[in-house]
A and B are shown apart, each in its own frame.
Chain A
Amino acid sequence: MRFWGTVVFGAALVSAGLAYYVRERSQATGQSYTEVVRQLPAEARRGYGEARERTRLAVGDGLRAARSREHQVERALLAVAPRDGDHPTL
């Protein structure tokens, strides 16, 4: 009962979201609800592809920024680290 309740609740949420999207899309483009619904698979594929591409580029930017930051921290640590000759000898 709990499982089916979750399923019904999720389906209601997805339906409400889709209905809101279709209504907003119809108002923005002037198309009918049927046309917007028919274009949903293509929109989903395009959004998926763009999100994947943006994710790939964002990961590349993140890796470059991480390497740059690591080099900065390494240089900062080397700048403040004492040299071997600075150690007092007894």
Chain B
Amino acid sequence: MFVRIDEAESRSLLSTLLVGRLGCIVDGGPYVVPINYYFEDGYVYSHSLQGLKISALRENPRACLQVDDVESGTEWRSVLAFGKYEEITKPSERSQILGKLLQHFPLLTPVESAIVEDAGPLSVIVFRIRIERISGVAEE
């Protein structure tokens, strides 16, 4: 049976998972890619190299992040969060966020680890999405 997941539980699922699918708009259509992220104080934090999703989000900052916990075809939870893309450019903030990303993702490659040391060259984009709306559906 399907049930709605309320906002508190949706936020809680978002904070326990580390991989989600980021949606943005490219040429009037959707574009979806998987990302590693962490959720803190109402913001989803992530980083990326320059590419299609970054140029798309710079043009239209409306984004969504979908996360799910799928046990089977009849037992799953899916949460969809909507928000606005913001790029972090201040070196001290970038360094702090990259440090936290490394804590959450200890397998980040040596290249990315090295980036944390010197607060990162600007080619690595650090961004966050302020979650404005969130809801979920579960089947149990």
Q: Do A and B bind each other?
A: no
A: residues with CB less than 8 A from B are none
